[in-house]
Amino acid sequence: TASLEALIPAAEQAGVRLALENMLPAHVGNPSADVRAFVDHVDWPALGICFDTCHAHVADASGFAEGTAAAFATLRDRIIAFHLADNSGAKDHHLQPPYGSIDWDAVAPAIQEAGYTFPATVEAPPWNGSTPGQLLRELQALFAGQWTTFELAGRPVHARCRHCGHHLYGP
């Protein structure tokens, strides 16, 4: 709190907001309920949370992962910034969404429904050597629910190009 006590007056004078980020397991700021409790306790109007999708998905040493959808639900009304990335759940890979194992079918609609109007930071390079423009088009399709999907063995599967590995999406 000492750092925030020093930063808050400067932030107020500059007219900026400060965001604390949910962190990886075994770090201060994990689980998300701890970040939420701290921000609620400080109770400063310009202090919020930077929600990192990748961090919420990484499992701790015991194999437990809070989960991106659960962490988002905990933090939803205090989020003022996003770090969007994906991973396998084993470590903070910083893959382009949705090229890891985060359940974007649950997370993307929840983020859309919340109606955030601020920009998000994508903390990942474009997938498979692609371009930033392709990354943007794929993220727009992801958040618009336009991924080409089908059901296989009772589970939704996203179609991917067998040549380049990119997910296929509709117009």
pLDDT value of position 171: 59
88-99 pLDDT, tens per residue? 999 999 999 999
Task: Tell the residue number behind the tokens 């590995």, with chain if given.
Answer: 165
pTM: 0.91
Q: What percent of the chain has pLDDT over 70?
A: 99
Q: Which residues contact 4 (CB under 8 A, 6 or more apart)?
A: 18, 42, 44, 47
Q: Helix, strand or coil for residue 3?
A: helix
pLDDT digits (tens, 9 = 90+) for 105-152: 899 999 999 999 898 999 999 999 999 999 999 999 999 888 888 888
Instruction: Check whether 23 has a pLDDT greater than 70.
Output: yes
What SS3 class is residue 50?
strand
Chain mean pLDDT for the chain? 91
Residue 12: burial class (beta carbons within 10 Å; 0-12, 13-18, 19+): middle
Determine the pLDDT at residue 3: 86
| Alpha carbon distances (Å) from 135 to 57, 99, 109, 114, 159 | 21, 11, 18, 22, 17
